[in-house]
A = this chain, B = another copy of it.
Amino acid sequence: MNNGKAKPGHFYAVGVGPGSPDLLTFRAANLIESADIVIAPRSKRSETSLALKTVEHLITSQQVVDHVYAMNRDYTETMKLWNEMAELIIEQSAKGKSIVQITLGDPMVYSTSCYLLKLLHGKLDHENICVVPGISAFQTVASKFGEALTIQEDRMVLMPATNIDQVAEALEHCETLVLYKAGKKIKELADLLKEKDLLENARLVCYAEQGEKEFMAHDILEAADGKHGYMSTVIVYINRQEWKK
């Protein structure tokens, strides 16, 4: 279904990876290049859409719809904005347009695409809705350090760093812990890891694959100044669960 151009009346939620244009997949590039409409979400705080910047070399005559969303945690407001976008998609797909919504990372992993997909469910034909995976930040971060996330019988947990109690709980139930949105919790997190004798097993990357903004640290406290806010990922290597004899 996806080996080629965007089809009339179809909606595609497309992951563009972490921000480096060459970490885009061919499928994503083909769809973006051939779409009638490209929806690029950006937060109210940003002047440009990072996702759009990643694919700007593919934009020629497509109509680009800049979807500004509030970065607060208000579910009602969030859904109101996405409802407007869903209506636009339904309207345009009925006219035979092909629509691609681009999103940083992977559309299935902490992505804004989820809201749209939920709203389109039942309104567009199931076969007219496609999702294209993208490289997620945690994969990029792991590749930077070249240390495996999982081998053999390992369990990996992926979660936001927002609730430190849940982070502490997770440390007891996996071999590798990946934390998103760690920026504002670095000090609390470092205290917890120190207590568990795991501080040296943690790695941090902020803005992975976003050019000069990229910041890597073997010591997560290097990011404790809070400057490396939202897009920071921490990997904690707890243990290895090797093959049982």
Determine the distance from Cα of A150 to Cα of B112 in the docked complex, in whole angstroms. Answer: 11
A166 within 8 A of B: yes
- Indicate with 1 or 0, residue by residue over A144-155, a CB within 8 angstroms of chain B CB atoms: 101111111111
| Interchain CB contact (< 8 A) of A73 among B17, B113, B243 | B243
Interface size for A (C-beta < 8 A) is 62
Determine the distance from Cα of A160 to Cα of B244 in the docked complex, in whole angstroms. Answer: 13
Residues of chain B lying within 8 A (CB to CB) of residue A157:
155-158, 173-174
Measured CB to CB, the nearest residue on chain B to A111 is B148
Contact A131 B156 (CB under 8 A): no
Q: Give me 6 A-to-B residue pairs in the complex whose CB atoms sit less than 8 angstroms apart, sorted by A's number.
A: A13-B146, A23-B27, A108-B142, A109-B156, A114-B148, A135-B135
- The 7 tightest CB contacts between A and B, nearest first, are A131-B143, A133-B139, A155-B159, A114-B148, A108-B142, A22-B27, A22-B26
